[in-house]
Amino acid sequence: MVAPPVRTGLSLGRFGAMREAGLIVIILALCVAMSFASPHFATWGNVRAMLMSFSIEGIVVVGMTVLLIVGGIDLAVGSVVCFAMVVGGSMFLMGLDPWTACLIAIGASALVGAGMGFFVTVVGLNHFITSLAAMVIVRGLCLVITKGTPLSLFTLPPEFKAIGQGEFNGVPYVIIIFVVIVVLFDFLLRRATAFRKVFYTGSNEKAAEYSGIRTRQVKFWVTVLCSTLAGLAGVIYMSRFGAATPTFGVGMELNIIAAAVIGGASLTGGAGTIFGAILGIALLSVVTSSLILLDVSVYWQDMIKGCILLAAVSIDHFLNRRKS
């Protein structure tokens, strides 16, 4: 009598799966169209290029999605990515070995998240304004640390650079790390008790409190998680580019949030999946690559990109509405 739950016991269960189905169809349709339009599209080189281009951002998307589910938002991710690069880079230049430097950088990013978490949960500000202030402050810190000049990390040892630039059997480490994180968090978000509390808190904070969930703690730790993942992305970028630029990641936050929202995360909390969010960033990336591949005029690229985005989201919305 009772239908078996699909994939998860969460309300999003079957519906969630459908959401993603819509996006998958759209992305596949785009890819097929592109394969006909450009002979270069369906090559391993190009697929690899597209994967590479969004895999580090994808790590940030994971954190943002969890934060959106709890009802928060983080405008500071771009700054934190940069902060991690800059802190890691300058630690390394001060003589630390790169691994320790990176750990410190990720730790510093987590601290930024803890600071935001403090203002949100203890002082009681909202995530938007807190993270906006953090965005400005952290970007300022990057300027202070670098004195405005990019740090050249040319001397990073090759075994460290390998993380961002190397491959394992032809598959870049970056992609491996990305896939591991996505699979891990997708699993945890669907199954782990701790992450279940994230859904409860985001869906109805008051009801969560009335269920004995310490919602402030949940929000705090999710805020920290988001910044920590941004920090991780930052050190991977550092390894990839062998540099730390104080202006890196400006404007990244909107792209990240857009990806999560396209993938079904709700800005009011309580809904969202990692898998969907990753499809969201993949969509954005495929569109960008396609326009370049088709050699569309730079003046028209933005416009067409925006239109495709709007069309994709509308179609996705339409497909989901029909099914539900």
Partner 1 sequence: MSGGNVLEIRKISKHFGAVQALAEVDFMLERGEIHALCGENGAGKSTLMNIVAGILAPSSGEIRLEGLPVHIGSPAEAQRLGIGLVHQEIALCKDATVAENILMAATNARRAPLMNFSELNRTAQKVMNRLAPIPVTRRVGALSISNQQLVEIAKALTLDCRVLIFDEPTAALTEAETQALFCIIRGLKQRGISIIYISHRMAEIFALCDRVTVFRDGRYVSTDRIAEVTPDHVVRRMVGREITQLYPEKLAGEPGAPLLEVERLSDGAQFSDVSFTLRRGEILGLGGLIGAGRTEIALGVCGLAPTTQGSIRVDGQPVAIADYTDAIRAGIVYLSEDRKHSGVFLDLSIAANVSALDLRKLTRNGLVDRRLELTQAITLCTRLGVKMGAIGDPVSSLSGGNQQKVAIAKQLSVKPRVIIMDEPTRGIDVGAKSEIHKLLRELAADGVGIIVISSELPELLGISDRVIVIRGGRIAGEVTGAMTEEAVIRLASGVGGNFADVA
Partner 2 sequence: ETANPFKCEPGEKYVMNVMVSGVEYWFPVYEMFKQAGQQFGCETAYTGTPEYDVNKQIASFDQALAQNPAGILVHPMNSDPFIEPINRAVDQGTAVVTFAADSPNSKRVSFITSDNLAEGTYAADAVAEAMGGKGEYAVLENPGQDNHDKRVAAFITRMEAKWPDMKLVGRAASNQDPTKAYQAVLSLIQANPELGAVFMPEANSAIGAAQASKENGSKVRVMLADVNANILDMIKAGEIFGSVNPNQGMQGYMGFMLLWLANHPDLIDPMNDTARSGKNGMAVPFVDNGFSIVTAENADDFYWDKYLKRRGTKGIEE
Q: Which residues bind its own copies (CB under 8 A)?
A: 75, 119, 123-126, 128-130, 132-141, 143-144, 147-148, 251, 254, 257-258, 261-262, 267-268, 298-307, 309-310, 313-314, 317-318, 321
CA distance linking residue 134 with residue 113, whole number of Å = 9
Nearest CA to 111 among 230, 222, 253, 228? 228
Smallest gap, in angstroms, from Cβ of residue 283 to its own copies? 12
Give the nearer residue to its own copies in terms of CB position, either 78 or 164: 78
Which residues on neighbouring strands pair with residue 151, listed in sequence order? 244
Smallest gap, in angstroms, from Cβ of residue 294 to its own copies? 15
CA distance linking residue 65 with residue 272, whole number of Å = 7
Give the nearer residue to its own copies in terms of CB position, either 232 or 283: 283
274 touches which of partner 1, its own copies, partner 2, none (CB within 5 to 8 A by kind)?
Answer: none
Q: Is 208 in the site for partner 1 (CB under 8 A)?
A: yes
Residue 48, classed as helix, strand or coil, is helix
CA distance linking residue 224 with residue 171, whole number of Å = 30
275 touches which of its own copies, partner 1, partner 2, none (CB within 5 to 8 A by kind)?
Answer: none
Question: Do 52 and 44 contact (CB within 8 A), yes or no?
Answer: no
Give the nearer residue to its own copies in terms of CB position, either 14 or 305: 305
Per-residue interface string for the shown chain with partner 1, residues 177-196, x marking contact by CB under 8 A = --------------xxxx-x
* Cβ neighbours, 10 Å, residue 304: 15
170 touches which of its own copies, partner 1, partner 2, none (CB within 5 to 8 A by kind)?
Answer: none
Q: Is 320 in the site for partner 1 (CB under 8 A)?
A: no
Smallest gap, in angstroms, from Cβ of residue 268 to partner 1? 10
Scanning 40-48, 96-104, 175-183, 199-207 for contacts with partner 1 by CB under 8 A, the matching segment is: 199-207
Q: Is 209 in the site for partner 1 (CB under 8 A)?
A: yes
- Round the CA-based radius of gyration of the chain to a whole number and report it: 20
Contacts of 190 (CB under 8 A, 6+ apart): 7, 8, 10, 273
Q: Phi first, then psi: what are they for 151, rounded to 5°?
A: -85, 130
Q: Is 150 in the site for partner 1 (CB under 8 A)?
A: no
Site for partner 1 in 271-310 (CB under 8 A): 271
Give the nearer residue to partner 2 in terms of CB position, either 110 or 151: 151
Q: Is 166 in the site for partner 1 (CB under 8 A)?
A: no
Burial class (CB in 10 A: 0-12, 13-18, 19+), 24: middle
Give the nearer residue to partner 2 in terms of CB position, either 77 or 208: 77
Question: Do 319 and 22 contact (CB within 8 A), yes or no?
Answer: yes
Q: How big is the CA angle at 80 (ends 74 and 85), to the nearest 5 degrees? A: 160
Structure tokens belonging to residue 210: 């009335």
CA distance linking residue 270 with residue 95, whole number of Å = 45
In the complex, the residues that contact partner 1 under the rule CB under 8 A are: 1-6, 8-15, 191-194, 196-197, 199-200, 202-204, 206-214, 270-271, 324
